[in-house]
């Protein structure tokens, strides 16, 4: 029973944090800390998602399809469906950038789902060519 107790506490915490909201219901930009708690509670070992990156240098060109395992991108396809070998962006990577931007007071906006997945994040100084934005959709935990 003692070995089971940490699992029971973890599950109860996640259920309490998620409450009755749906997993794709946005949390909004004022809940960065709450979204981070949700993401760290979920933080799957394997997942897929689509991301549309853009910056002050590069306009959005469509969604990339990403597959992650053990924190690393194992497959990435550009909007045309072609394999991209140098794409390393994960949800944790977006979180790292988002938290760094917040720490330097450059987080313009962020929106999350109830799992803590950053659906929209806008950070940096767009006027001085330092802005970047990520739009995430179709996040799914893999087995």
Which pLDDT score, from 0 to 100, does residue 30 have?
A: 53
Distance (Å, whole) CA 65 – CA 43: 19
> pLDDT per residue over 73-99, tens digit each?
999 999 999 999 999 999 999 999 999
Tens-place pLDDT, residues 91-123: 999 999 999 999 999 999 999 999 999 999 999
Give the model's confidence band at 128: pLDDT under 50 very low, under 70 low, under 90 confident, else very high: low
Give the pLDDT band (50/70/90) at residue 22.
very low
Cβ–Cβ < 8 Å for 53, 61: no
CA distance 9 to 16: 10
pTM for the predicted model, two decimal places? 0.77
The pLDDT assigned to 86 comes to: 93
């Amino acid at each position: 029973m003692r070995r089971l107790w940490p699992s029971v506490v973890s599950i109860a915490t996640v259920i309490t944090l998620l409450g009755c909201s749906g997993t794709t219901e946005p949390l909004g930009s004022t809940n960065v800390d709450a979204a981070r708690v949700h993401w760290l509670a979920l933080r799957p070992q394997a997942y897929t998602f689509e991301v549309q990156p853009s910056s002050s240098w590069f306009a959005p060109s469509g969604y990339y399809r990403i597959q992650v395992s053990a924190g690393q991108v194992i497959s990435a396809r550009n909007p045309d469906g072609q394999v991209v070998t140098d794409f390393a962006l994960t949800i944790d990577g977006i979180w790292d950038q988002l938290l760094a931007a917040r720490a330097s007071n450059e987080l313009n906006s962020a929106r999350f789902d109830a799992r803590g997945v950053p659906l929209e994040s806008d950070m940096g100084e767009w006027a001085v060519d330092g802005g970047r934005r990520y739009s995430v959709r179709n996040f799914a935990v893999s087995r």
